[in-house]
């Protein structure tokens, strides 16, 4: 029997305590300094927390999906998130994590659907959001906070209820929890309708943790540490968190998205996980710095970047290329590595397709970025590029991880079979039957094999559209290619049922301002910039140049420039920074109508 098959997620603590107890199992910045929690401290906090939950009536003997108690959490990344996850698991209850950005209507639906009994929130603003819909959730008994808020029970008060008898009960319940027991229900985005609760068991996630750990590979590294900032309620960050815990890697939580740069320099981590949108932001900042240079420094900077765009890890560039790249690394890219803490040995990106150009540039700069892929329904990893010779192929999500079967249907849909495939959708056997057929999870993603080894995602099945001429257009590859232009921040390809393909484009306003200044065109507001004739002419040239990469039906014939960036708060982006296409189509229907008028 494989080593992971008898393990539950909470076994990570005992595993670490036995093999490599740490002083910094978890860490967060509090009042300007880093507070660390040792493995022994975490074990004690979590066991007491579980005991207190039992005293509150959480858990019990009914471990079925419908019968087990549901505990919700809505919080930024912090040690208390992991304490709550582990403590809830140890009682046999089920954690329901919610994105902090979830709108009140969806939030109420999720809490009602799961019949949540207790809720943990991090801060006053999130508490207020819960209080605004609390009357609509009759099962909710109490809300606890991680921050100290007057008049509201603090999470630490639960651990204070622990007694020796309750702690013994915790140990007994832990021993009785089967690996097939439900660990969490993760509600996926409701952009295509009502949110769906993905049921994942301990075995689902643990198998994905160990198979990913073996495949990537993540070695046991008690001296290493990572920075965590992707939302923990997303299965990607949750899964890698347990990879870290089972590998003895210390987890440091970034204070916020805005402090990542500063936190990287302080923590000097060995690695982190990210999404392509954040990598794009890092690259834009780097390029903005380069644009502000003058003279020989500026020429050297852009010479190095141009060199890096030609990098291919599988094909030698020859002695002269290697020599130049070595020089570029010493003169230019060493500063990039310093900005990331000077210790990065891996960055894993997922959640959406990453621009191939970025992968080439970062890897050439000795900042290894590995792209992977997988949906929540698979716990989540299906494929990942590897830290081994021949393990990386730019433009693909790598080979399938060990222990999974992957096949492509006739239409290219990616299907996966293995121990990490979800138990099903909560209370939705109809949807489960449509999605998991004979054990095969139908992902809804379209892909192709490259070199009979690496998987390349070409698009979402639901995002493919037909023009009025009956030709299919896959928007993602077009969007990713166009985003290579320094002028383009965001783009969404449109044209379903229309005579031609069009696009909504959000300019990269920092670069546009720099370009306009160099052209002696005054930059006043975004609104004026996107209607400036010279700007429109330049964007037309950019679009024309990138159209050459695509066939006639895929080429963008007309476009509209938009004056503001799409965001989570604006409602156009998901929490993992993917486009909410339906929302954008509705919000900008008048602008799209202008394209086709």
If you average pLDDT over residues 343-354, what whole number do you get?
A: 92
Contact 586, 552 (CB under 8 A): no
Q: Which parts of 416-474 fold into alpha helices (H)?
A: 429-435
Contact 189, 352 (CB under 8 A): no
* pTM exceeds 0.95 for this model: no
* Model confidence pLDDT, tens digit, residues 161-185: 999 999 999 999 999 999 999 999 9
pLDDT at 61: 57
With 50 as the cut, is the pLDDT of residue 478 above it?
yes
If you average pLDDT over residues 457-474, what whole number do you get?
A: 85
With 60 as the cut, is the pLDDT of residue 191 above it?
no
With 60 as the cut, is the pLDDT of residue 504 above it?
yes
pLDDT bin (cut points 50, 70, 90) of residue 62 is low
Mean pLDDT, the chain, as a whole number? 94
Q: What is the 3-state secondary structure (H, E, C) of 516-572?
A: HHHCCCCCCCHHHHCCCHHHHHHHHHHHHHHHCCCCHHHCEEEEEECCCCCCCCCCC
- Which of 475-508 are b and which e, b meaning 16 or more Cβ less than 10 Å from the residue's Cβ? bbbbbbbbbebbbbbbbbbbbbebebbbbbbbbb
pLDDT at 466: 84
With 90 as the cut, is the pLDDT of residue 214 above it?
yes
pLDDT at 65: 67
How many angstroms separate the CA atoms of 454 and 356, rounded?
A: 14
pLDDT at 1: 39
If you average pLDDT over residues 32-46, what whole number do you get?
A: 97
Q: Which parts of 342-462 fold into alpha helices (H)?
A: 356-364, 429-435
Among candidate residues 126, 120, 128, the one with its CA nearest the CA of residue 146: 120
pLDDT at 66: 74
In the chain, the domains with their CATH numbers are 11-270 (3.40.50.12780), 273-342+344-460 (3.40.50.12780), 465-595 (3.30.300.30)
Give the rounded percent of residues in the chain with a pLDDT score beyond 90: 87
If you average pLDDT over residues 282-310, what whole number do you get?
A: 95
With 50 as the cut, is the pLDDT of residue 218 above it?
yes
Query: Which residue spans within 451-533 are E strands per DSSP?
Result: 454-460, 465-466, 472-473, 488-494, 501-507
How many angstroms separate the CA atoms of 287 and 224, rounded?
A: 30
pLDDT bin (cut points 50, 70, 90) of residue 193 is low
Q: Are strands 472-473 and 465-466 parallel, antiparallel or unpaired?
A: antiparallel
**Signed CA dihedral, 401, 380, 420, 171: sign only:** positive
* Model confidence pLDDT, tens digit, residues 512-554: 999 999 999 999 999 999 999 999 999 999 999 999 999 999 9
Contact 322, 371 (CB under 8 A): no
Instruction: Supply 55's token pair.
Output: 């005293």
How many angstroms separate the CA atoms of 421 and 94, rounded?
A: 18
Phi, psi of 317 (to 5 degrees): -85, -5
With 90 as the cut, is the pLDDT of residue 463 above it?
no
How many angstroms separate the CA atoms of 432 and 424, rounded?
A: 5
Contact 256, 29 (CB under 8 A): no
If you average pLDDT over residues 8-22, what whole number do you get?
A: 97
With 60 as the cut, is the pLDDT of residue 40 above it?
yes
pLDDT at 63: 62
Q: What is the 3-state secondary structure (H, E, C) of 264-311?
A: HHHHCCCEEEECHHHHHHHHHHHHHHHHCCCHHHHHHHHHHHHHHHCC
How many angstroms separate the CA atoms of 17 and 40, rounded?
A: 7
Residue 139, CA distances (Å) to 69, 105, 116, 435 in order: 10, 17, 6, 30
pLDDT at 574: 85
Q: Which long-range contacts (CB under 8 A, 24 or more apart) does 148-155 make?
A: 149/124, 152/127, 155/49, 155/80, 155/83, 155/84, 155/120
Task: Report whether the peptide linkage leading into residue 217 is cis, meaning its omega lies within 30 degrees of zero.
Answer: yes
Contact 485, 546 (CB under 8 A): yes
How many angstroms separate the CA atoms of 237 and 446, rounded?
A: 24
DSSP state of 355: P
pLDDT at 569: 87
3-class secondary-structure state, position 460: strand
Specify the DSSP element, H or E, that contains 261: helix 260-267
């Amino acid at each position: 029997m494989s080593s992971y098959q008898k393990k539950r997620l909470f076994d990570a603590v005992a595993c670490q305590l036995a093999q490599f107890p740490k002083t910094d199992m978890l860490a967060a910045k509090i009042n300007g300094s880093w507070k660390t929690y040792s493995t022994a401290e975490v074990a004690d906090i979590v066991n007491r927390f579980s005991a207190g939950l039992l005293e509150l009536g959480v858990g019990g003997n009914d471990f079925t999906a419908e019968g087990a108690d549901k505990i919700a959490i809505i919080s930024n990344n912090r040690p208390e998130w992991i304490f709550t996850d582990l403590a809830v698991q140890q009682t046999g209850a089920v954690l329901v994590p919610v994105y902090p950005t979830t709108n009140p209507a969806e939030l109420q639906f999720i809490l009602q659907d799961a019949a949540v009994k207790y809720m943990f929130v991090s801060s006053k603003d999130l508490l207020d959001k819960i209080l605004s819909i609390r009357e609509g959730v009759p099962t909710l008994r109490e809300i606890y906070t991680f921050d100290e808020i007057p008049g509201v029970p603090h999470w630490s008060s639960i651990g204070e209820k622990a007694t020796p008898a309750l702690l013994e009960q915790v140990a007994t319940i832990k021993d009785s929890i089967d690996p097939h027991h439900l660990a969490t229900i993760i509600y996926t985005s409701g952009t295509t309708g009502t949110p769906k609760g993905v049921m994942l068991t301990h075995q689902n996630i643990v198998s994905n943790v160990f198979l990913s750990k073996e495949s990537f590979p993540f070695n046991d590294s008690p001296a290493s540490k990572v920075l965590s900032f992707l939302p923990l309620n997303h299965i990607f960050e949750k899964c890698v968190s347990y990879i870290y815990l089972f590998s003895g890697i210390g987890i440091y939580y970034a204070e916020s998205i805005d402090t990542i740069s500063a936190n990287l320099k302080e923590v000097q981590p060995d690695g982190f996980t990210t999404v392509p949108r954040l990598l794009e932001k890092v690259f834009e900042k780097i390029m903005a710095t380069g644009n502000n240079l003058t003279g020989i420094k500026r020429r050297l900077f852009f010479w190095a970047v141009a060199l890096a765009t030609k990098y291919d890890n599988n094909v030698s560039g020859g002695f002269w290329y290697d020599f130049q790249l070595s020089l570029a690394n010493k003169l230019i890219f060493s500063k990039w590595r310093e900005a990331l803490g000077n210790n990065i040995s891996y960055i894993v990106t997922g959640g959406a397709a990453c621009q191939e150009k970025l992968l080439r540039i970062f890897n050439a700069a000795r900042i290894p970025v590995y792209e992977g892929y997988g949906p929540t329904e698979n716990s989540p990893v299906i494929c990942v590029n590897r830290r081994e010779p021949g393990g990386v192929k730019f433009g693909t999500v790598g080979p399938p991880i060990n222990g999974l079967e992957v096949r492509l249907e006739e239409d290219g849909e990616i299907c996966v079979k293995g121990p990490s495939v979800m138990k099903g959708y909560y209370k939705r056997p109809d949807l489960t039957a449509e999605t998991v057929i004979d054990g095969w999870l139908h992902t809804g993603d379209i892909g192709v094999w490259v070199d009979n080894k690496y998987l390349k995602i070409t698009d979402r099945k639901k995002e493919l559209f037909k023009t009025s001429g009956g030709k299919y257009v896959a928007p993602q590859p077009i969007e990713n290619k166009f985003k290579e232009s320094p002028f383009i921040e965001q783009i969404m390809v449109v044209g379903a049922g229309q005579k031609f393909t069009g696009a909504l484009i959000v300019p990269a306003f920092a670069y546009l301002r720099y370009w306009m200044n160099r052209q002696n065109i005054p930059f006043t507001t975004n609104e004026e910039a996107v209607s400036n004739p010279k700007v429109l002419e330049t964007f037309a040239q950019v679009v024309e140049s990138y159209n050459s990469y695509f066939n006639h039906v895929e080429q963008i014939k007309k476009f509209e420039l938009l004056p503001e960036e799409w965001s989570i708060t604006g409602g156009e982006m998901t929490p993992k920074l993917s486009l909410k296409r339906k929302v954008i189509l509705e919000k900008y229907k008048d602008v799209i109508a202008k394209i086709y008028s």
